[in-house]
Amino acid sequence: MTAEQRRNLHAFRGYVSKILDPTYILSYMTPWFRDDVVQHIQAEKNNKGPMEAASLFLQVLLELQEEGWFRGFLDALHQAGYSGLCEAIESWDFQKIEKLEEYRLLLKRLQPEFKTTINPKDILPEISGCLISQECEEIIQISSNKGLMAGAEKMIECLLRSDKENWPKTLKLALEKEESKFSELWMVEKGAENVQMKDLEDDEMKTLDIQIVYKEEPENQNLSQNPCPSSVPPAYSPLKPRNFQLELALPAQKGKNTIICAPTGCGKTFVALLICEHHLKQFPQGRKGKVVFFAVQLPLYEQQKSAFSEYFERLGYKVSGISGEIADSVSVEQIVENNDIIILTPQILVNSLKDGTIPSLSIFTLMIFDECHNTNKNHPYNMIMFNYLDQKLGGSSDSLPQVVGLTASVGVGDAKNEAEATEYICRLCASLDTSVLTTVRDNLEELEEVFYKPQKFFRKVESRTTDKFKCVISQLMAETEALAKSIFEELGTVTLENLSRIQNRNFGTQKYEQWIIAVQKACMVFQMPDKDEESRICKALFLYTSHLRKYNDALIISEDARMKDALNYLKNFFSNVRAAGFDAIEQDLTQRFEEKLVELEDISVDPSNENPKLKDLCFILQEEYHLNRETRTILFVKTRALVDALKKWIEENPKLSFLKPCILTGRGRTNQTMGMTLPAQKCALDAFRTNRDSKILIATSVADEGIDIAQCNLVILYEYVGNVIKMIQTRGRGRARGSKCFLLTSNADVIEKEQLNICKEKMMNDSISSLQRWNEAVFKEKIHQIQVQEKLIRDNQGKVKPVVDKNNKKLLCGKCKTFACYTADIRVVEECHFTVVRDAFRECFVTKSHPKPKKFGNFEKKSKIFCARKDCLHDWGIHMTYKTFEIPVIKIESFVVEDVATGAQTLYSKWKDFNFEKIPFDAAEMSAGAQDLNLQAMNGLE
C-alpha cells in the first residue's frame, strides 16, 4: 500500500464507518488481524454498535505494516458483498455514496411509521440484493424471535448502512408491490424535502448508526482565513490562525500557566491546538511531551476528540481518549502511556489518581481544562488541581505540567462590587495555578469582525388573567392535602405544616416543590410502636405527597406551555399508577382526578385559555422568519418536560410547523424523567447541523456550555435565566452577523436578574482588566497566599474523617416500610455498586424487564427490581449480570435505614453519605453460597 492510499483511507474513514459492519469481513482478514483484536472489535460492536466497531477496525487497519493488507481489505469487502464501498475506495470517489445521504435522512425521519407499518418478511426478498447476506439472516431471525417491529427496526439499521446506489428505488418498488401505505411517504423521486420531521424518541435514536462529526461552521469560519467546504473531505492544508488567536495563544506558548478568556465562537479550540502543537514540538530529540485535554460533558468530549484527532494525526502524533462510557473496557494506563495527546472526561483522571493507575500528574507535560470556570468546590477539575497543588506546595522535586484553562467567562460568583469580583477571579486563578489572565487586547478590531454580540431584547408578557385549569387542579391538590392532614389528625402528635419550615407556599411554584419533597422525606421516617400501622401510614403519606408533586408539576407546565400539555402529563402519570400497585388510596385519588377529567379536557381545548407567553413566542418566531427565512434558532427552556411540550406545540401549530424542531436535553436521570442517551444527543446535534429543514433547536442547559452547535442568529431564553456565566454562554450561541437574543418572561424578577447579570459582566471585565495591570510578581504572590490558605483548610478538613458505623442496620422499603435486608448483607461491587447477598432478599423483590438493557464493563443490565408487596411495587434498583453472577443492585434513596438498636430511622440520597461498614464483594463467598444452596436442594430431594 502506498502512503497516498493510507492517507486517502484515513481521510475517507468517515464514509467507511457509516457503512461497514466490520464483523462481516473479519473472517477474511485473519492473515492480518490477531484473535484478540478480532474479539475486541466484535465486543465493540456488541457494546456500542457497528459504527464504533468500524472506527476501531479502521484504526487497527491503518496501523498495519504487513504487505498486502490493503488489497486484502478490498477483497474482503468484495467477498462480503460491499460492492459499492469497494468501488468507492478503489476509485477514491464517494459521490454515489454521498448522494444516498438524503435518503438516509428521509428514512430516519420516517422510522416510526416504517416500524409500525412494514412487515419486513414481506419486502425482504425484493430488497435483499441491497443488503449483506448476513444482514438478511439477522432480520429474519429478529423478526421471528422478537417480533415484526423489531425486525423492521433492524431492516432500517441495515438500509441506513447500505452502499448500493439503487436501494432507495428498490425499496420503493418493493413497497409498491406489497401495496404498502408507506410507499406514499417514500418519495424517491422528490427526495426528502417535503417530509415532516417526526419525533425520534431515545430508544429509536440509539438504533441509528450515524457518524457524528462535531464541526461547527462558525467556529471554522473564525478558526482561520481559509476554511474548507464540508462535502467530500478535501486535501489537507494548514489552517492560518488569525492575529487575535495568536495573541491568545502567546503566553501559553511561552510556557506560562494561563486562563484564556474569550467569547464563544472565536476559536478557542483552535487556540488550544496551536498551543499543543507548539508545546509538543519544543521538546528536544529523545524527549516527548504528553498533553491531556479535559472536557466536562460527553458530547463536548466527543467533539474535542474529533478535532484533536483530525488536526494531530496528520502530523504524526497519536491521539486517543477515554470517557465514562468506555472507561470500564479500556486500560487508562496503556492509553496514557501509548499516546501523545489524551482527551479525558475529568472524573477518569480523578479515579485513576485515587487508585494509583496514574501515579502522578508529573507524567503529563501540559494539562488543558476546557470550560475551566468549573474549577471550584468538589468539581473533578478541582480534585485534579488539589492533587497538583499538594504536589507543588508539598515540596516535591517532580516536575509539574503546564496548566491552561479555556472559558468564555470566568464569572464573579456572588460578588457585589469590583473588589469582591477581583477576589473571586483570583481564587479561580489560584485553583488553576495561573500566572497570566489572557484576553484579546491588541487585536480587538479583528475579533469584532468575526465575533458578533447579539442584540438583547427583554419581553415582559402578562400571565393568563383567569386560569380555570389551575383552579381545578388546585382544588384537587387541596383535597389531597386534606386527606394527608386527616392521617395526622388520627395521630394527634404532629401536623402536616410542622414537617417543613418552608412557609408561604403556593400551588404551582418551585417553593411548593421544595416543601412537598421535605414533607415526603419527613413522612418516610415517621415511626410508631405498631409497625403494621407505621407501614400503612407511611405508605399513605408517600402516595399523597407523590400525587401532590405531580399536580404541582402539571401547574408549572401549564404556566409556561399549554394546558393540554399539562393535562397529558397528568393522564400519563395516572396511567402508570393504574399499571402499578393501584391500592385503595390510589383508586380513590384516581377517581377524584377522573371526575374532573371532562371539565379539564374542555378547559384545555378552549381557545380563550391560550397561554399569552406562547402567543408572544409565536409572534417573535413569525416576525423573525418573515424577515429572514433562513433564520436558525436555539430556544432555551428550564425543564425537559417543557422541551417536550414546546416541541409538540410547534409541530401542532400551523403557523410554526415549518420549523420542524429538534430537541437536546441532558443525559442524567431525575426522579421525574429519563435523560437523552449519548447517541440521541449526537443525533439531535447532527440533525440540526446538517438538516436545513430543521430550523429550531429546543434545549435545556446542556446546550449552553461548550458544545458546538450550528450557526444561529436567534437565541430565545424562555423563562430561562442563570448566573453571569450562563448568560454569556447562552448569548454566545447566537454567532451570526445581526444575531438577536430575546428573554421572554411573565416575571419581572427574571428580567431584573438578567439585567443584574449584565452589570456583573461589566464588573467581571473591569476586574480582569485591573488584574492584567497588576505587577506579575504581586499577582503571583497573591495567588500563592490563596493556595497556601486553601491547602491549610483542606488539610484540616482531611484530618476529620467520618466514623464508620459498624452497628447492624435494617433497610426498609421507602414507600411501605417492608423489611428488605440488613447492612451486614450488603456487598460493594467495584467500589460503586451495592448488592445484597442474603438469599432471603430474593423473596423481597419482583423483577420487570429493563426498558433499556445495556452492557458496560463487567456488568449487563437486565431488569428492574421492585418491592414485592403487590400494593407497593416501589422501585428498588436493577438486576444485572456481573461476570458470572446474577445480582440485584439497590439504590439507597429507595430505602429508609433503621438502627437495629435504637430504632432511629434515617434517609440517604447517596451511598457515599451512609458511613456503614462497606464489605467488598467476594466471588468466593458467592460461590460458596451457591454450593450450599445446591447441597440443600440435593438433601431435599433425598
- Contact predicate 521/471, CB 8 Å: no
In whole angstroms, what is the distance from residue 384 CA to residue 379 CA?
9
Strand partners, 437: 259
The alpha carbon of residue 388 and the mean position of all alpha carbons in its chain are separated, in whole angstroms, by 28
The answer to the question of whether 867 is labelled as a binding residue is yes
- Contact predicate 719/435, CB 8 Å: no
Handedness of CA 445, 449, 451, 456 (dihedral sign): positive
- Contact predicate 140/125, CB 8 Å: no
Q: Strand, helix or coil at 405?
A: strand
Give the CA angle between residues 172, 175, 178 to the nearest 5°. 150
In whole angstroms, what is the distance from residue 311 CA to residue 215 CA?
12
Q: Strand, helix or coil at 148?
A: helix
C-alpha cell at 902: 435504637
C-alpha cell at 90: 478503489
Distance between terminal CA atoms of the chain?
Answer: 70
- Cα-only R_g, the chain: 30
C-alpha cell at 384: 485534579
In whole angstroms, what is the distance from residue 868 CA to residue 295 CA?
42
Distances (CA, A) of 777 to 235, 388, 781, 784: 47, 21, 6, 10
Got the DSSP string for 499-540? Answer: G----S--TTSHHHHHHHHHHHHHHHT---SSHHHHHHHHHH
The answer to the question of whether 683 is labelled as a binding residue is no
Query: Following CA atoms 654, 656, 658, 663 in sequence, which dihedral angle do they give, to the nearest 10 degrees?
Result: -120
C-alpha cell at 605: 381545548
How many residues in total does the chain contain?
A: 942
Run of H or E including 14 = helix 13-19
C-alpha cell at 580: 402499578
- Contact predicate 545/520, CB 8 Å: yes
Strand partners, 404: 258, 368
Q: Find, among 188, 160, 162, the residue nearest to 173 by Cα.
A: 188
In whole angstroms, what is the distance from residue 733 CA to residue 656 CA?
22
Q: Which residues contact 597 (CB under 8 A, 6 or more apart)?
A: 571
- Contact predicate 691/685, CB 8 Å: no
Residues belonging to the binding site are 813, 816, 867, 872
Residues belonging to the binding site for Zn(2+) are 813, 816, 867, 872
